[in-house]
Amino acid sequence: MSQYAHPEVLVSADWVEQHLKDPKVRLVEVDVDTNSYNEGHIPGAIAWAWNQQLCDTVQRDILSRAGFEKLMSGSGISPETTVVLYGDSNNWFAAWAFWQAKIYGHKDIRILNGGRKKWLADSRELTTDTPSYPPVPYRAQASDLSLRAFLPQVQGAVQKKSAALVDVRSPQEFTGEILAPPGLPETCQRGGHIPGARNIPWSKACNDDGTFKSADELRALYGAEAIDGKQPVIAYCRIGERSSHTWFVFRYLLGFDQVTNYDGSWTEWGNLVGAPVERGAAPAKPMQS
């Protein structure tokens, strides 16, 4: 069995238990359901709310560099701190936080393999106590935009067929049958997908217990759709968070060099006037670039 390209970015629950009181380690819970933290969390963990603390709440954007510095500083995290992220739904939004932290150059950030789900299922220690850590200075690096795709890059990639597009939404969103995940607000005017995209739902990268599939299984999953890292890859979903999970898999577990997360995603593309849209399932055979 082959190894992940960067196994150091994943930690096990046992590792976390051994570092619960390590002052060099900060645990951060980032959930889809921002109330989950209050229903029990890992002792010592703080919480970041994705919809308030991991985005610009005025204009649609990720955190600014100054905003990221403020978040880290206020969380008692220095540039030397080992940050371990975990969350519900197979670390869905933990990966969103990971992606932003890498954009701003945090050196040592990791994900708890299995996230909140496995921690609960294994009946490990929880608390409802909220810790407080004194602020520390934090200076972020300049934005690494090689990790992020903006609309013009995606449009160019579609026209020139210069990158593989991976749509990680559900098949029903991909085909255009529904405009948003079931039960969630619709955020686009049109349904479908970006022309040429392959549909590989994000959660296929995970086992039932919330841990990531093995490197071999991941290679087989994406390789079946001709996504093998030999060409640039752009991942997208609805607002860029599910695709940050897939971006994490491509970049850190499979070691793809040229992979970006298009966080504008379908909420941007599906609202553009005149943008090309494909509906229905993708062709059976993936197109080679």
Partner 1 sequence: MKPQHYRERQVTSGPWQIHLVSYQLGDVFYCKADNVSPGANIARGSAATQEEAERIVLKKAEERLARTRRQEV
Q: Which is nearer to partner 1, 56 or 186 (CB)?
A: 186
Residue 125: CB minimum distance to partner 1, A = 6
Residue 169: CB minimum distance to partner 1, A = 7
Q: Which is nearer to partner 1, 225 or 278 (CB)?
A: 278
Are the beta carbons of 99 and 147 closer than 8 angstroms? Answer: yes
Q: Phi first, then psi: what are they for 194, rounded to 5°? A: -70, 135
Residues 125-154 close enough to bind partner 1 by CB under 8 A: 125-128
**Among 44, 79, 105, 181, interactor with partner 1 by CB under 8 A:** 181
Are the beta carbons of 262 and 149 closer than 8 angstroms? Answer: yes
Give me 174's structure tokens. 């991909």
Residues 6+ apart with CB under 8 A from 160: none
Q: Which is nearer to partner 1, 183 or 274 (CB)?
A: 183
Q: How far apart are CA 2 and CA 4, in angstroms?
A: 7
Assess 193 for contact with partner 1 (CB under 8 A). Answer: no
**Among 19, 65, 124, 219, interactor with partner 1 by CB under 8 A:** 124
Are the beta carbons of 91 and 252 closer than 8 angstroms? Answer: no
Are the beta carbons of 171 and 204 closer than 8 angstroms? Answer: no
Residue 253: CB minimum distance to partner 1, A = 19
Residues 5-64 close enough to bind partner 1 by CB under 8 A: 32-33, 35-36, 39-40
Give me 162's structure tokens. 């210069």
Residue 113: CB minimum distance to partner 1, A = 17
Assess 171 for contact with partner 1 (CB under 8 A). Answer: yes
**Among 26, 102, 117, 251, interactor with partner 1 by CB under 8 A:** 117
Instruction: Tell me which long-range contacts 255-258 makes (C-beta under 8 A, separation of at least 24).
Output: 255/4, 255/5, 255/6, 255/229, 256/229, 257/229, 258/163, 258/229, 258/231, 258/232, 258/233
Are the beta carbons of 253 and 222 closer than 8 angstroms? Answer: no
**Among 73, 141, 143, 203, interactor with partner 1 by CB under 8 A:** 203
Are the beta carbons of 213 and 207 closer than 8 angstroms? Answer: yes
Assess 242 for contact with partner 1 (CB under 8 A). Answer: yes
Buried b (16+ CB within 10 A) or exposed e, 206-239: beeebbbbebeebbebbeeeebebeebbbbbbbb
Q: What character string, x for contact with partner 1 (CB under 8 A) and - otherwise, covers 244-283?
A: -----------------------------------xx---
Give me 277's structure tokens. 């849209």
Q: What character string, x for contact with partner 1 (CB under 8 A) and - otherwise, covers 76-95?
A: ------------xxx-x---
Residue 123: CB minimum distance to partner 1, A = 5
Catalytic residues: 237
Residue 24: CB minimum distance to partner 1, A = 26
Q: Which is nearer to partner 1, 79 or 176 (CB)?
A: 176
Q: For residue 264, how many C-alpha atoms fall within 13 Å in the half-sphere facing its CB?
A: 15
User: Which residues are near partner 1 by CB under 8 A?
Assistant: 32-33, 35-36, 39-40, 88-90, 92, 117, 120-121, 123-128, 169-173, 175-184, 186, 191, 201-203, 237, 242, 279-280
